[in-house]
Structure 1
Amino acid sequence: MGSVVAQPIETTRSTTGNAILLAVKLDVTSRADAEAAVRAAVDRFGRIDVLVNNAASFYAGYFEELTPEQMERQLAASLIGPMNVTRAVLPVMRKQRSGRIISISSSAGLSGFEFGTAYAASKFGLEGFMDSLHAEVAPFGITTTIVNPGFFRTELLTEQSTNYAEPSIQDYDERRAKMLEFWKAQNGNQSGDPAKLARALIAIASQELPSRRFIAGADAIGTAQQRVADLKAQIETFRGLSTSLAFDEGKGS
């Protein structure tokens, strides 16, 4: 079961032609939609084996120029939305004592980036949610997998899916122009093939014990490796200070 908002349901139905596929209306920010979609899937197929949380939007811009409403909409689509759908699916999977929950994060869930405060915040939140949920549902035979894709040629950077902050602070003018040029140039030129990623996710979902994380794409691997290196360096820089912070037990004041 995937959460799809990128194209109208009529388009989804007309392009599939698959007798075993059920297309339903699902706005992931609506708990009622999520619950109705789950009921429809169970009524049709009797069970739900895999949930893929993949609905997304991109609110791009400098934090000071993004409105609070834009921040909330980003969190609603990329964090609260997956929570809504997962909450609706979990009773079904618990009853089955089995299930796979795959959540599409991003390399932005590993490392934040300039012009991406809203997006990275939503993805870091999604990862914390999935990491914590794993321990809660594993006893029921339910697994969770976080997927960190790099740049894949999806609809995320199209005009329909990307929302840019309105310029409002002169201090950001020069850098904003460069950021806008960069992001608009990425649309349609991403190196990752989403069809190959979809096949990889099918393979992961079919594993007896799926990996808890899948770094997808050479660029995402580079981001992950740099993040690991940065963390190691920061640990070593402050190791002495960090390990000196316990109470001095047995010593007088």
Structure 2
Amino acid sequence: MTQYTTDKQVWLVTGASRGMGVDIARAALAAGHAVVATGRNPEKVTAAVGATENLLTVQLDVTSPADAQAAVQAAVDRFGRIDVLVNNAGNFNAGFFEEITPEDFRAQIETTLFGPINVARVVLPVMRAQRSGLVVTISSTAGISGQAFCTAYAASKFGVEGWMESLAPEVAPFGIRTMLVEPGFFRTELLTPQSTQYAAASIADYAERTAQTVAGWQSMDGQQGGDPAKLAAALVQLTALDEPPVRFAAGADAVGAFEAKAHALLAQADAHRSLSAALAHDGV
């Protein structure tokens, strides 16, 4: 295929067969950009996003480095460059820590931490050669504040936060920027059975809380306050800025989570200030 020639951006969006990824791909296309929309089933991606000349759908399981390599190569072959990477693909392994199997805990990390890492490893050389680019990673308020029943998910998102925050100064000299997006509760498909897996109840001490928590999460599915289409439009707006934010609190509840964590950290820093200050070596 001939390479794409335009002054518009080329976006690569992971997890674009359903949920927020679909909205992000559609918003980028509506803004006139070219989009490489990826998912495990390219046919489902095309059906969800809608075929157009500015859209390329590619198979990508983010846990597969080989898939990542092939998807990025397909993007460059078709459009010649990648300006915006949106690491969006994810799932949710929920449950109390003692009831989440080691295999499921590790699988969560593989998808929502190593998944975006796999894709970024292949995209960054392209952006570095261009001396420009933006890496957007969809994190979560679970990457700002942990909570019960989210140990695996929060561990992966806290990892994403540290990885991206540390990556930013490494790639900045090459004109590459990073942006973390921490959504609160949005009406996506994250809480559907296709995206959420609950740990099997196996410990009597947790049984009542497990039943209550699962019922609570299930009742929220489809009732979340955030509109993913509005978030997608906001991301298009933010990516157009000369200085995209390092972090974007997506939703009023996310802003509240940021503020609560900031206040908690300040209080914790101050709680034992004199003891903390007394830990230096005596003398020279």
**Structure 1 residue ranges, 4+ long, deviating more than 2 angstroms after superposition:** 5-8
1:92-123 CA deviation, whole Å, 9 max, x = no partner? 00000000000000000000011000000000
> Which residue is equivalent to 1:247?
281
Contact 1:6/1:155 (<8 A) preserved: no
Equivalent of 1:124 in 158, 173, 176: 158
> Which residue is equivalent to 1:192?
226
CA distance in structure 2 between the partners assigned to 1:152 and 1:18 by the alignment = 27
Which residues in structure 2 correspond to 1:1-253 (within 5 Å)? Answer: 1-4=12-15, 6-7=17-18, 8-15=41-48, 16-250=50-284
1:17-55 CA deviation, whole Å, 9 max, x = no partner? 221010100100000000100000001100000000000
1:117-146 CA deviation, whole Å, 9 max, x = no partner? 000000000011001100110000000011
Q: Given residue 79 of structure 1, which amino acid in structure 2 is its aligned partner?
A: L
SS at match of 1:23: strand
Flag the 1:61–1:6 CA change in 2: closer, same or farther, 3 A.
farther
Contact 1:100/1:143 (<8 A) preserved: yes
Contact 1:5/1:27 (<8 A) preserved: no
Gap regions ≥5 residues in structure 1: none
1:156-200 CA deviation, whole Å, 9 max, x = no partner? 111000000011100001111110111101110110000000011
SS at match of 2:98: coil
CA distance in structure 1 between the partners assigned to 2:177 and 2:165 by the alignment = 11
CA distance in structure 2 between the partners assigned to 1:27 and 1:66 by the alignment = 23
Q: Which has the higher strand share?
A: 2
User: How many residues are aligned here?
Assistant: 250
- Give the CA deviation at 1:14: 2.8
TM-score normalised by length of structure 2: 0.86
Contact 2:226/2:251 (<8 A) preserved: yes
1:41-100 CA deviation, whole Å, 9 max, x = no partner? 001100000000000100000000000000011001100000000001011000000000
Gap regions ≥5 residues in structure 2: 1-11, 19-40
RMSD: 1.0
CA distance in structure 1 between the partners assigned to 2:135 and 2:283 by the alignment = 45
- Give the CA deviation at 1:6: 4.7
Q: Given residue 136 of structure 1, which amino acid in structure 2 is its aligned partner?
A: E
CA distance in structure 2 between the partners assigned to 1:130 and 1:88 by the alignment = 15
